[in-house]
Structure 1
């Protein structure tokens, strides 16, 4: 069967989120599959010729007032035109939603945090979900999730027939790999760091990520441990993050934590590879890409014993209960000083991470396109 596919790319932007990374990896690969005759790219009502331009500053199309006025005046005509273009194509919305022209396509539901943890989302996003998500579910012939845990949750929470939901795991980029200390030195020096001299958490700073519990546990470590391995936190400042920022500012004054904010994409693999430990205390994820990136980098990993993280880390990570701060602190100390565990975790993590791959993700996604189109 030959396939013609439309991939929605509204998540592509210069600073890629996890969903943006997923969209970009699919955009690069699905057109190369022998089953796919053609791929078109769609973004919020526009047809995109070259999605790579969306990754550079000022590459995202901007609409001037006159342009917006013309778009509003010609909305019906554009809908008719887009429907003609989309005819004979299978539409994939990798970011939860399907437009009207995507009827009978697929959506990827990465998690249900907007329902489980609405307080962690801006009001505008909640309103958009209220308006559009149910309609997208009704249009979709099939739903993709990032993990079996999320698949089960989608089936149960949204009352979806199991044969309409397929789990296809994500992956770490090949840039995430073990590296010799000398290779990491130039990048780490820009942040005043040295190889194996810090621990790392890569996460959006928002309530469900449990960064406050991590900071409290780090503060409870013996001074000799927390001062030898200060905690580096990198990622965007999310919704309701002011209290977390205040905690980090206090820890920074005491010298055992630093908030690095967004790190350039070319530096991030080196920051992972130089870390003595990676910690991810989030209590709710659809996949949890950062722990996989850390395992692929040869770094021991600690994750919350919650949602899909035990599944995704495949027995290679130390599991903790972030809300039990004293126990969390004891486990963190063990993860930093127990050489036997660290060696085991490093080797097991490399094996687990190697089982994932973006080529595998694209291959399984294209196979699913074929099944949906055939049905």
Structure 2
């Protein structure tokens, strides 16, 4: 009897950020339609872990293999493939609450030993996870994230509507992400302050994370930034498309999906020159040292002053984004899951 795929859908109750978007996009493309196993309501961290370890395993049917797409999984389930998106919990435990970091490190070591296969989203993440989890190249598979509709250049009318909704009455640089230490928001705000510009805004979208150590609240009291809060998915393409540039100055990312979404919308990208960013963006972004405020500032200045560069980044970004597809990512993911039972 051939195996069927069941999906650990605990992620379904969370707001959509990079990991959740990955899980949603891949899940809806797997054929035949997999069985989604989720709690009957949103659960907190501890209750969610308890459900995953003591309820989820007993909901699996005999001929099913479990895919856990969002950095967690059931320890006792051996017929399982787990996606782990990056190794920041090992490389920078100080960015997380101690209890969360300790639990996650232990959980990943158990899952790496017991699961049939591990998927991650970049060569950078594979190398870091191999090092920390002591697993072979054969057990961990790289399948990059994808991008696609609705992330595409938006019409002017739609962009103007979004600008009015969020009171963006000047050209703006856009940051999107959870307000957590590795996103490096304080240095971005400092760099924008050094521009001393009255012609542009810095628009900051996203929520404070729940599992992270001391956030960047000390940087969030400035008057020259617009804090937009959490942006619903329906508004993101137009918000990207209307930006002068999207800035992703993270100290660490396993993939950097926001860079790809921005490029797909025809928006220039300024990103860090560290971790997975060179792998994801290729030659289609302005890369900067995220620890150097002056470099971040100078990149923004180039966007303001050099329209030829802006047009080149738009063209290269669209070409780069076209190389990534959720359909292809889903196809490769399904192959790994299916092959793991052979």
Q: Provide the rounded CA distance (Å) in 2 between the counterparts of 1:198 and 1:62.
A: 37
Aligned to 2:87: 112
Q: Helix, strand or coil for the counterpart of 1:285?
A: coil
Higher helix share: 1
Aligned to 1:180: 155
1:225-255 C-alpha deviation (Å, 9 max, x unpaired): x32121101111133455x3332322x2xxx
Matched, 1:40 2:35: yes
Aligned to 1:20: 20
**2:290 aligned to 313, 317, 322, which one?**
322
C-alpha contact 2:263 2:317 (8 A) present in aligned 1: yes
1:256-280 C-alpha deviation (Å, 9 max, x unpaired): 3111110122112111111011100
Aligned to 1:56: none
Task: Specify whether residues 219 and 144 from structure 1 end up closer, same or farther in structure 2 by C-alpha distance, changes over 3 A only.
Answer: same
Aligned to 1:51: none
Please give the root-mean-square deviation of Cα atoms over the aligned residues, in Å: 2.5
Aligned to 1:234: 205
For structure 1, which segment, 266-275 or 319-328, has the greater mean C-alpha deviation from structure 2 after superposition?
Answer: 319-328
Aligned to 1:171: 146
**1:346 aligned to 307, 314, 320, which one?**
314
Q: Provide the rounded CA distance (Å) in 1 between the counterparts of 2:56 and 2:280.
A: 40
Aligned to 1:208: 182
Unmatched tracts of structure 2, length 5 or more: none
1:166-218 C-alpha deviation (Å, 9 max, x unpaired): 11111234111112222211122011124x71110111111111111111111
Aligned to 2:29: 29
Distance apart, 1:301 and its partner CA: 0.4
Distance apart, 1:331 and its partner CA: 2.1
Matched, 1:152 2:152: no
Task: Specify whether residues 151 and 62 from structure 1 end up closer, same or farther in structure 2 by C-alpha distance, changes over 3 A only.
Answer: closer
Distance apart, 1:312 and its partner CA: 0.4
Aligned to 2:217: 245
C-alpha contact 1:277 1:336 (8 A) present in aligned 2: no
Q: Provide the rounded CA distance (Å) in 1 between the counterparts of 2:280 and 2:272.
A: 12
Unmatched tracts of structure 1, length 5 or more: 33-37, 49-59
Distance apart, 1:371 and its partner CA: 2.2
Distance apart, 1:293 and its partner CA: 0.7
Q: Provide the rounded CA distance (Å) in 2 between the counterparts of 1:163 and 1:125.
A: 29
Q: Provide the rounded CA distance (Å) in 1 between the counterparts of 2:266 and 2:5.
A: 36
Aligned to 1:313: 281
Aligned to 1:125: 100
Aligned to 2:265: 297
> TM-score with structure 2 length normalisation?
0.90
Matched, 1:363 2:331: yes
C-alpha contact 1:13 1:20 (8 A) present in aligned 2: no
Task: Specify whether residues 81 and 281 from structure 1 end up closer, same or farther in structure 2 by C-alpha distance, changes over 3 A only.
Answer: closer
For structure 1, which segment, 294-303 or 102-111, has the greater mean C-alpha deviation from structure 2 after superposition?
Answer: 102-111
Task: Specify whether residues 123 and 178 from structure 1 end up closer, same or farther in structure 2 by C-alpha distance, changes over 3 A only.
Answer: same
1:88-144 C-alpha deviation (Å, 9 max, x unpaired): 211111122331452132111100111112122223422421442222112111110
Q: Provide the rounded CA distance (Å) in 2 between the counterparts of 1:215 and 1:360.
A: 37
Aligned to 1:55: none
Q: Provide the rounded CA distance (Å) in 1 between the counterparts of 2:307 and 2:10.
A: 45
Q: Helix, strand or coil for the counterpart of 1:287?
A: coil
1:298-347 C-alpha deviation (Å, 9 max, x unpaired): 00000000000111012100110121222321222112321111111100
**Number of paired residues?**
335
Q: Provide the rounded CA distance (Å) in 2 between the counterparts of 1:343 and 1:18.
A: 27
For structure 1, which segment, 13-22 or 318-327, has the greater mean C-alpha deviation from structure 2 after superposition?
Answer: 13-22
**1:263 aligned to 209, 213, 231, which one?**
231
Q: Helix, strand or coil for the counterpart of 1:91?
A: strand
C-alpha contact 2:90 2:105 (8 A) present in aligned 1: no
